[in-house]
């Protein structure tokens, strides 16, 4: 809860402004992952056969696929956050319109039934 007593204060404009950042960062991470995989696969073992190169390979080699899958999962997570934020902002706008419609006055019809147009 915030200092002003509000539990949740969603500003649709902020959500709409922030959502594309997640899409952009997902694309950036995906490109970086693709570059890493292609570079390392293309170079074979560029870290060499010296002591440091062997130590790197011993630590990285067995974990390479796990690291690549984890980074791929992060890409999917960022895309998912982007999509959820877009859906949330759309839903928030729809909900506001629905609630506003519930509280719209209904014009009295000429026959007194109250079945006129809403304002």
* Position 2 pLDDT exceeds 60: no
pTM of the complete model = 0.59
The Cα–Cα gap between 57 and 43 comes to: 13
Domain assignment present for residue 107? The answer is no
Number of domains in the chain: 1
Instruction: Give the count of beta carbons closer than 10 Å to the beta carbon of residue 89.
Output: 20
- Specify whether the CB–CB gap between 85 and 15 falls below 8 A: yes
Tens digits of residue pLDDT in 32-49? 999 988 887 877 777 888
Domain assignment present for residue 40? The answer is yes
Domain assignment present for residue 9? The answer is no
Coil/strand/helix, residue 109: coil
- Specify whether the CB–CB gap between 19 and 82 falls below 8 A: yes
Written as six digits, the tokens of 89 are 């902002």
Domain assignment present for residue 115? The answer is no
Extended strands (E) in 11-79: none
* Position 1 pLDDT exceeds 50: no
- Looking at residue 104, its pLDDT comes to 72
Domain assignment present for residue 3? The answer is no
Domain assignment present for residue 93? The answer is yes
Range of the domain at 65: 15-102
């Amino acid at each position: 809860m915030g200092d002003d007593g509000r539990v949740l204060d969603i500003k649709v404009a902020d959500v709409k402004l922030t959502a594309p950042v997640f899409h952009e960062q997902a694309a950036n991470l995906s490109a970086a992952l693709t570059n890493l995989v292609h570079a390392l696969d293309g170079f074979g073992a560029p870290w060499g056969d010296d002591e440091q190169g062997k130590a790197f390979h011993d630590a990285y080699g067995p974990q390479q696929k796990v690291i690549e899958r984890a980074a791929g999962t992060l890409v999917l997570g960022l895309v998912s956050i982007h999509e959820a934020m877009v859906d949330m902002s759309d839903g928030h706008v729809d909900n506001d319109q629905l609630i506003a419609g519930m509280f719209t006055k209904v014009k009295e019809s000429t026959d007194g039934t109250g079945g006129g147009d809403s304002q």
